[in-house]
Structure 1
Amino acid sequence: MNRKDQIMQRQQELLTAARNEGRDLTAEEQREFDDLQRELETLPDEGTPAGVPASGQRGMDEGEGRNRETPADAARRAIAQERQRVADITALCRSFGLSPDEYIAQGYDMGRARQAVLDQLQRTGTPVSARVTVDEQDKFRDAASDGLMMRAGVAVERAAEGAQQFRGMSLRDLAIECAARSGEDTLTYLRMDTSELYSDLCRQFYNPTAAFPAILDSTIKKSVVQLYNQVPTTFQAWTTKGSLSDFKESPDHEYLIGGLGDFEEVPENGEIKMDTPKTELLPSRKLKTYGKQFSMTRQAFINDDIGFLTRVPGLYATKAKMTLDKAVYSTIYNNKKIWDGKPLFDAAHANVMTDGNKPSQVSIQQIILQMQKQKDPFGDAIYVTPRWIIVPVGYEFDLAVILHSTQVTGSANNDVNPLYNYPVNIVQTPVLNALAGDKAAPWFMVADPMSARSVQVDYLNGQETPIVRRMESPGVLGYTWDIYTDWGISVRDFRGIAKNPGAVIA
């Protein structure tokens, strides 16, 4: 290998290394490449007499020399083409959830890579999925919303990137930032006093692209969801949850199937007898809407009342869940008639104790045994499994002793406590105290719904948390929001719940 071949080989090594790494030549590599090129140009061509520079050969055709691509230009062009190939193949594969590494390493061009991707999808049956990218405006709104929540003292588990920089912004500063990002003349907004700025912001009410009201909406909705989930209600511990798609009152289209005949012996060469199951339509269910309206006043904006965005919506979210909690306990406390025309707790339902007293070892055993004697609508025995004891405030510590003591309290013979570690969960609620007032406060035993159902809470399309919607309210100087929720309470079966009338709690 002569010197010319050695130079060209080294230049090719430099170009190949850069192309494989998807980059330009480094400064050091570029200097080496240029030095080699200058040396190459001084070497005589084959058949050229010694002493005649290779560049002299180009002088034979100056026009051709001016149009000839230099090796440095060729290197840059090759690197750019390789980068484009890698980028195109990567984008193609990522859009279908595939890895581009194999196609890039094997030197596929775009056409071959596209065919390989199609072949792969055909073999695996992988569906084509569309990806929606988050633009800068959405990122800004998420960061600003999380920043407002953090400033108001609400914990944000996964704050959006950049939220910290908005944490110290006032509402006025945030409004001006929104204007600047939308291309408005920032100087005009800086010259406005806070009252004028608020009036201008109110004119953005119906603009779907306006950032400031959208950020307020997002902050309020996040606050409502987070605070709603933190409300310490207890109804959800023992009720079942359902979903309805509309507000029409209609019977549950699920029929209870039962009343099957016992299996009978089939003698040799005998005939298996036909049996027809009996059915019973379950009780009806219906949703209703409950809501309130609140507004962010002009004074709140001028005073930079950032707590309004979380405190006021949080109060309404709390009230929404407590309203539902109270409605559930009112259902079992008020003991209204159910679908069969009889009160929920009635002697005909065999789910109410005759003598009212506070929870004790004896009274708990009695109510458990009463529930376990229940029969299904077709007269067959069912296996009821008591799971929760619902009591007003005042019995929790007595129950802890009753359910976790190995001996019967007060027994002279150290009798074994049959309720020791009995698998019943205590649900204590002050709602029963409030409903009872100075009267006897009842307590209840509820079965595992897999054995026998009791009360169910239905939501519209399964939406539990309240919905928040910005509205325009005549006569209100400020932004206004509706907060509402859709739910319904129904007694699914009386066999899964029993009542003791209780006693007056001192």
Structure 2
Amino acid sequence: MNRKQKLIQRQQELLNTAKAAARELNAEEQAEFENIQRELDAIVAGEGQTLGEEGERSVPGVDPGKEKAATEAERQRCAEITDLCREFDVSKDDEQKYIRGGVSTADVRKAILDGMKAHNAPISVRGSAEVIGDEQDKFRRAAGDALLMRAGIYMEKPAEGARDLMHMSLRDLAIDCLTREGETGASRRSSDELFNMVCRQFFNPTAAFPAILDNAINKAYVEGHNKAAVTFDQWTRKGTLKDFKTNDNNYLAGPAGEFLEVPEGGELKHDVFEDKKRPTRKLKTYGRQFTLTRQAFINDDIELVTSLPARYAAAARKTINKQCYQILVNNPAVYDGTVLFSKNHGNLVTTGTGITQASMQAMIMALQTQTNEFGEAIIIRPAVLIVPSGMAFDTYTLFNSPTINTEGNTQAVNPLYRYANQIQVIEDPTINVLCGGFGNVMPWWLAGNKDDTDFMEVDYLNGKEIPTIRRMETPGTLGFVWDIYLDWGISVMDYRGAIKNPGTKIDSPLV
């Protein structure tokens, strides 16, 4: 490439850069362009070219009109190739290769499409509605995460741009959303006027401000649900029901009869099964409602869209937790009309004690010698020790000491040492509260593995255990209103799955 060709190429690059940015040449570019033109004029003059009739320089023996047409065609080709490459995100190197190689516009277009087909890449045009929609979604996700981080909720991977929006108040966010949607003068509105404007967008599916609040609330209440301090799910089984009807068609098939010896020439004896009805199961709906009021918006109270939903979601889990422990402590009548823990069920220790070697061994033996509805022995592995707060300390020495002291002050093997890795200790202060607090007698329980026994089951509608949250409009309410609700039901499925010790009094540590 000679000097003249390099200068012409540089001029074209200047023009392409300005065209890609949809602008005219700036002062610096214009000055460079004119300097190149002067140098080109000097080169042309030195080559002995003369001016044609229209003042353009021409080469002797060449038709000036044809030369001008060829130059314009080349410039048009370069411009079209540049537009194609920008439109389909073609690399700068490939763009220059097409221009310098004299490739036609049609061939460039074909090469781009062939490349996309070969890589199974979707055709994405810059400036399309899809790109604009994606940018709106990115902004909404970033703004929702920004509200959560501003409220102190930890985000491991916040949306791109969220940290840049953390300084924005609810008013600032409303102004930004309205401005993006074409509202003029939003920044000059009062907070009260802005609130009325965003409230009018309540049912608009494309409105940004309500969607941002929904995004923040959804993430907040899922976070609250996952971090709720509960223990019920460690010893109850999770179930699912498809509707709110009473499900009473759950039957047990009787056990397979023992194999009988068949003498030579004898006949096999037919076995007859016996069925027993299982307890009924039924769902109920529980929920609450909260509002982002007009005053909260004006006061920039973001807690109502961040930590408050998280607390409600945690409250749902804690409600289930409390209901499960109420069954253990209150000992209600179950499906057969008898109280859950009783002598008739063979799952109640007569005299309450603390956690000692003797009481623990008695609990294990009582659990392992249970029989099913058909009088057959059940193999229940002791897996969970459920105790009130303050009673777990005794279990650590009981299970983790290889030896114990006997009455003669000699060392002997600890028979409970083998259970250290088999029995999980669950300590929950909900038991303390239900029993009236320290200074009162508090029971404790030994249960089998929840996957092996059907002691207690928590059912959810279609298996959904995270609360549903929805934004709604309530007449006469100044603000955005959200309903949060969850469907569940708790059923004692088989009283044989746990043994109760009436316990002993636990003194207050503060006395």
Give the shorter-chain TM-score range. Answer: 0.7 to 0.9
Q: Which residue among 277, 284, 288 is the counterpart of 2:273?
A: 277
> Which residue does the alignment assign to 2:375?
379
Q: Secondary structure at the match of 2:326?
A: helix
Q: How much does 1:297 deviate?
A: 1.7
With over 3 angstroms needed to count, the CA separation of the structure-2 counterparts of 1:263 and 1:303, relative to structure 1, is same
Q: What is the 5 A alignment of 1:69-468?
A: 73=77, 75-77=103-105, 80-90=108-118, 93-94=120-121, 135-185=134-184, 187=185, 189-253=186-250, 255-409=251-405, 411=407, 412-422=409-419, 423-437=422-436, 438-468=439-469
Distance change in 2, residues 1:208/1:404 (3 Å): same
TM-score by length of 1: 0.76
Query: Given residue 379 of structure 1, which amino acid in structure 2 is its aligned partner?
Result: G
Alpha-carbon RMSD across the aligned residues, in angstroms, is 3.1
Q: Report the alpha carbon displacement of residue 426 of structure 1 after superposing the two structures with TM.
A: 0.4
Deviation at 1:236, TM superposition (A): 0.9
For residues 402 and 488 of structure 2, the distance between their equivalents in structure 1, rounded to whole angstroms, comes to 43
The structure-2 alpha-carbon separation of the partners of 1:458 and 1:69, relative to structure 1 and needing over 3 Å to count, comes to: same
Normalised to the residue count of structure 2, the TM-score between the two structures is: 0.75
Q: Which amino acid aligns with 1:195?
A: D
Residues 205 and 81 of structure 1, relative CA distance in 2, 3 Å threshold:
closer
**SS of aligned partner of 1:349:** coil
* Amino acid across the alignment from 1:212: F
Q: Amino acid of the residue matched to residue 177 of structure 2?
A: C
- Relative distance call for 1:305 and 1:66 in structure 2 (3 A) is closer
Letter of the 1:177 counterpart:
D
Q: CA deviation at 1:58?
A: 8.6
Q: State which drifts further: 431-440 or 138-147.
A: 431-440
Kindly indicate whether the alpha-carbon contact (under 8 Å) linking 1:460 and 1:487 is maintained by their aligned counterparts in 2.
yes
Letter in 2 for 1:317: A
Residue in structure 1 matched with residue 33 of structure 2 by the alignment: none
- Report Cα offsets for 1:440-491 as digits up to 9, x if no partner: 2110011013432211111111111222111223332211111111111001
Letter in 1 for 2:455: S
Give 1:100's aligned residue: none
What residue identity is the alignment partner of 1:84? Answer: I
Q: Do the aligned partners of 1:259 and 1:379 also contact (CA within 8 Å) in 2?
A: no
* Greater mean deviation of Cα atoms: 437-446 or 147-156: 437-446
CA displacement at 1:307 relative to structure 2? 2.5
* CA distance, structure 2, for counterparts of residue 175 and residue 353 of structure 1: 63
1:408 match: secondary structure: strand
CA contact under 8 A between 2:459 and 2:488: conserved in structure 1?
Answer: yes
Give secondary structure in 2 for the equivalent of 1:498. strand
Query: Retained in 1: the 8 A contact 2:237–2:451?
Result: no
- The answer on whether the counterparts of 1:444 and 1:497 sit within 8 Å (CA) in structure 2 is yes
Counterpart residue type for residue 322 of structure 2? K
Once the two structures are superposed, what CA deviation does each residue of 1:114-168 show, in whole Å capped at 9, x if it has no partner?
xxxxxxxxxxxxxxxxx99972222221111011111111011221122122111
What secondary structure, in the 3-state scheme, does the structure 1 residue paired with 2:245 have? coil
Match of residue 478 from structure 1: 479
Asked if the contact 1:235/1:328 (under 8 Å) is kept, the reply is yes
Per-residue CA distance 1:338-367 (angstroms, 9 max, x = gap): 111111111121111101111111101101
Distance 2:397 2:476 in 1: 59
Q: Which residue of 1 aligns with 2:28?
A: none
State the distance in 1 between where 2:151 and 2:219 align: 12
Distance in 2 separating the partners of 1:133 and 1:180: 15
**Farther-moved stretch of structure 1 (358-367 vs 175-184):** 175-184
Partner amino acid, structure 2, of 1:471: M
> Any conservation in 2 of the 1:260–1:278 contact (CA below 8 Å)?
no
Q: Partner of 1:109 in structure 2?
A: none
Q: Is the 8 A contact 1:149 1:223 kept in 2?
A: yes
**Structure 2 CA distance, aligned partners of 1:456 and 1:225?**
23
Can you give the 5+ residue segments of structure 2 that lack an aligned partner in the other structure? Answer: 1-46, 48-58, 78-101, 123-129
8 Å CA contact 2:147, 2:166 repeated in 1:
yes
Count of residue pairs the alignment pairs up:
419
Query: Using the alignment, how far apart are the partners of 1:202 and 1:71 within structure 2?
Result: 57
